[in-house]
Structure 1
Amino acid sequence: MRLCGGHSGLLLLLLLLLTSEFPPGWSELFGWRDKKVLNVECETTGYEIVGDDFLVLCPGHCVGQQPLVWGSGVYASISSVCGAAIHSGVLSDSNGGMVRVSKKAGMRGYVSKFANGLRSISLPKWSRSFVFPEASRSMAESSQQWEQESIVSTGDKVDGRRLSFEAYRKGFLSSEAKPAAKDVSSPKGPNPFQQYIGRNLGTASRKPMTTTVSPKKMNKDCNVDIAFLIEGSWSLGVRRFESQKRFVTKVVEELQKTTDGAAVGLIQFGHETKTEISLNKFPTLQGVTLAMRKVSPIGGTSNAGRAIDEVAESFFQKSAGNRREAPNAAVLLLDGWPNDDLEVPARVARETGINIFIVMVEGATSEELASGVHGDFVNKSVCRPNGHFSLHTDRWTASSALVSPLVSRICNTERLICSKTCLNSADIVFVVDGSSSVGLENFPALLEFVANVTGHFEIARAGTHIGIVQYTYEQRTEVELGRHTTPEGVREAVRRVHYWSGGTSTGAAITYTRREMFAHSRSGKRRLLVLITDGRSYDDVREPAAAARKEGIILYAVGIAWAIKDELDAVANDPKSEHVFFVSDFNDLKTVGPKLVENICKEYNALPRN
């Protein structure tokens, strides 16, 4: 059929609306037959989208939302589709556009790489991947008008259950589309390497938890998102099931005494799993304790590993109330031995940032001992096998003694080490040269460098803290370490720094930073000093730098123009090739930032893990 005249656009639009797919001629032109275009958000992951080969339309300016991406070239399915498209170079961040995505089997060794304004994360193994078969930006631009009339809008979900056409919004058809077919590519049953849509996919829309506890009892902070996993198997019995609920209730009541509210949810496991209470179901913790009274056993066998799968796959989603700035903790209550494997799903959960705690009550029966589950599964499952993440009691009647220790450990965010990444676990002080040789016209370039580098990190009260020292012959604290705990606060503080002018005493500045700034650093945080200078120091830098390194401070040196290479080497940690940077012009500082962040993360990821 040939379309002509003023009716062609209308006929094409009607065809699109009636078929919900490309017209045959159009799909043949691009080689993508029967493909719908999904209008996705910056944070939408590949796992959320049904199908093995699909088209998505990404919005512009996703980099500013810091979408999470695992891998390079081949991306783990938990990655943001739009973020990965930008990272791979098939999509422009400023314009957005349409890209083709193909799902692949999982693999080992997803590599970390900084590219196109985004730093991807390494991952040892995942169950599903996706790639971009071809660059489709030019095609998306050429078909912009067509896209506007044929886009499928995902609304709150991208799994086909709530899809509706953009055209429906304009009144052409009803607002509800038919449910999409289930993704047959996903295997049935528990898969320990399925997607994790969790901890850092954005801030939940709900307000932070509040309590009505009197100020006298508010004795600590506990800005943590917590999942309690309780057993509801047939073998447990009603009495011990109720004992679990009473224990969790006491823990939640203790959490109500904190000044900064935790968010709490509940998962029950037997043969299957059931999310009884999501993180955002109740505005206060009191609502959680009331709701737990109505929870009844679901029966079946004790598949605790499947419950951890549930936590890693879906519980800590943004839509379920996950707060970007809050660490994640999962507290597994075990009455005896589990019937399935814990080690693999627990490792996956840990690798995605979930702090696994296990509360073990009573011992294993003879039947449980014969089940084949290794007796050391607790140490192999928790965040660290050092005793901090596991508690034990011989009977439920004595479990009350575990309430306060458990709350204390969960709320100690400095020791929730599974939540830590290179981007959220550092105290960084920028030591900025304000000497006369820099000049008023070049000083903004130094501040822009600081702002760009800090923009890569997760600035939060429990995350990375930033400090700034400006120096000449003297030193001045421009931004106190940890004074600002939001990205916006840090950016504004950087803007307020004014040029000083004077001499260049770099050694004294390092000593000042070590004594005055890092004296207030937090336990368990990596301490990074980033020196930025354009000339020779009037004093010695070797001894001050050696003293800082002796205290565990990691020093990076960024030299500009007339900076002395030997001095930069004397300041920085080894290897010098990864801790020393040099540019000949202030305008070239912008090229250093991404590599500096990449090296900081490379060093962090090389640290010993479980």
Structure 2
Amino acid sequence: SEKTHTLDLIFIIDSSRSVRPHEFETMRKFMIDILNTLDIGPDATRVGVVQYSSQVHSEFSLKTHSKLEAMVKGINQIIPLAQGTMTGLAIKYAMNVAFSAEEGDRPKVPNVAVIVTDGRPQDRVAEVAAEAREKGIEIYAVGVARADMTSLRAMASPPFEDHVFLVESFDLIHQFGLQFQDKLCGVDLCLESDHGCEHICESSPGSYRCLCLPGYTLNDDEKTCTVIDYCSFGNHSCDHECVSVLNGYHCRCNEGYRLLEDGKTCQHMDLCNTVEHGCEHQCVSTPGSYYCICPEGQLLQEDGKSCGTCKSANIDLVLLIDGSKSVRPQNFELVKKFVNQVVDSLDVSAHGTRVGLVQYSSRVRTEFPLNMYHTADEIKAAVMKVEYMEKGTMTGLALKHMLENSFSEAEGARPLGRNIPRIGLVFTDGRSQDDITEWAKKAKEAGITMYAVGVGKAVEDELREIASEPVEKHFYYTTDFTAISTIAENLKLNVCPEESQGEIEVKDPCACESLVEFQQATMSTLEQFTQKHILFRSLHLNPGSHS
């Protein structure tokens, strides 16, 4: 075997009465064979020998001999104690005395103990051996004759297949020494094994350990490393936030604050003077934030920045769209674009305007309820995915569904007590196949503001019956589908909620005026449009059956 790395090695030899004289001689030879493979010297490997039975006796310490010849002579002069078997006591002596600086143990040099025993210990070994291993002593256990494997494993370092040896008799111990020398010889396990250390592998005879780079700590798996969280040690004295970095930490301030020169204290900035606040009229700084204000008589708009005389109302809007077969697929796509134009005119958000969509033909289907989507983009994407039903025209059934389901709190309508207007918009291209009177009336009685939009062969009487008062301002009609985008442009669903009993709703000072304006504009646009299409209608009326 090649010479080993530098070691501090202690032999712990069992010399109890059950070890016969010729067996003890074989143990001497075993030790001398091992010594012959080592690079002995004060700056190379140092060796000490301890024998034990009922008591422990140091034959020579790590610092006694610096030459191989002197060690061999010392081993040959050992006189066996020939009493009991106090193996635990011997390990304790090795740990506390033999491997001490006073006895010649060196810092940073691997400690290896080789225990040779023929019998079961008469004292406890597991705890003291574990303590010795914790202190960094690598233990090899060599059992002979009647030795107990459980006790050997309790003493030895893991992995046991490299540190526990059992031979049947002392006659075999000499040959066995050759196998043992291979284990003790300088195999660098960091180079020769798959050690799995994340940062640094440090070899010791027959073993290794993982280490971490500065600023890291070893995890419980004893292989991987984690950055030391210096912030969690406390005492960082950062005003706001502490951020751990390699080998230290730094302080960080919350948004709207700046770090002072001491690197720890945070002072709030005048954000109005340091950021692009975008306020139309005036910006007011607060600690860590700011807000916009408007001149007297004007209102802050939904964007929180611009000022105006009107503020768009928040509403719960449910659209009922006709999916009957007379609509035709290409026109159904125009209906979806109409819906998305309406959505574009609204301030959609969870706390602002909510939109739900229902399609009806011979049956009624909720495409999405009021509480499903919270942005205009999400709603518009969902609208474009709606599939055309292509059957009858059950408008009454659709109104019933809207009242009973779509405006329920379960589907996202805000509670009535909050005075958020509920608006229903019915789009149809023809006469209903069921009665609409009952449910059109009930919807309006329930406080829902109803708009009716008709196209093509839609029946004006039905549209009027659906629409809220004043009827002229709540129903729209055009001759063909290409004109519905004009309605969408003019249909700004502003509302002027009534004062509710007990609670005064703050009125938007101009919602009602703008409502009148857009409805007048819409009606005049539609009148012009209708005039243009009278001739067209007379020439192109579809004589086919109507759904």
- Where on the TM-score scale, by shorter chain, does this alignment land: which range? 0.3 to 0.5
CA radius of gyration, larger in: 2
